[in-house]
Structure 1
Amino acid sequence: MEKPKKDPIYKSFGYAFEGIFAVIKKERNMKIHCCMMILVIAAGIFFQISVIKWCLCFSLFGLIMALEMVNTAVEAVVDLVTEERRPLAKLAKDAAAGAVLIASIMAAVAGVMIFVPEFLRFADQIFI
């Protein structure tokens, strides 16, 4: 039996980008994550944060956005499988949403740890 032919790599990337743009367009929370990312990038540029801090910020952006996409995929699959209210369906959806929430809270804590000292240094320069 012959293996089915795989799509060329550029098509695989195309499908991935379609998924990213679909989630950004469809999901309110992904729009919020994108807005927060833009604000953090602007703050990072303004405060001229270090390369290490940039790496941490971009890693957290990727983690949160990837988890939001997995959450969307879990919700879509659960909705595809059943329209009934079932305990396992609820658990799957709630657990996926909880993963995004935990990552977002930890990213916010890291953001405070990165940007509060930068803000305080900036305030010292202005008010002294």
Structure 2
Amino acid sequence: NHLFVFEGDGVINDFPGNYSQYRGSTVHGPQSTENDADTNKDFPDGKISSLDRELRTDNKKRQLSYKEKREFETLEKEISELTKEKQSVIRQLNSDSTAFDELQRLAVRIGEVTNLLDEKEMRWLELSELTH
């Protein structure tokens, strides 16, 4: 086995061995300082970004925390209640005997309920993906 190592500026080296051996030999060589410098450019504080950490944890299915389980349970109840309220507001909007002021109030409320419902459904979907 051998590797062609592209070092930049048109320089190509032939390394006898596999990738693990190559990485082991470059850890103590001059190349490791260049790799460290590249890493420091990406993460100047030496900290891994939250997105990178999140991507690493996405590879392993994580379980819900206790708080997330409780949130998941309450979201189902809240979504059910908001759906019922939305249906009630729609019924009131469709009735002929509603006054103009009441229609305006109901129109505003249906917008609020719809937005809340969308937010809670999105969060519910996020949590349900973690459970399965």
Give the TM-score range, shorter chain: 0.3 to 0.5
Q: Which one has the largest radius of gyration?
A: 2
Normalising by structure 1, report the TM-score: 0.38
Q: Which has the larger helix fraction?
A: 1
Q: Which has the larger strand fraction?
A: 2
Normalising by structure 2, report the TM-score: 0.37
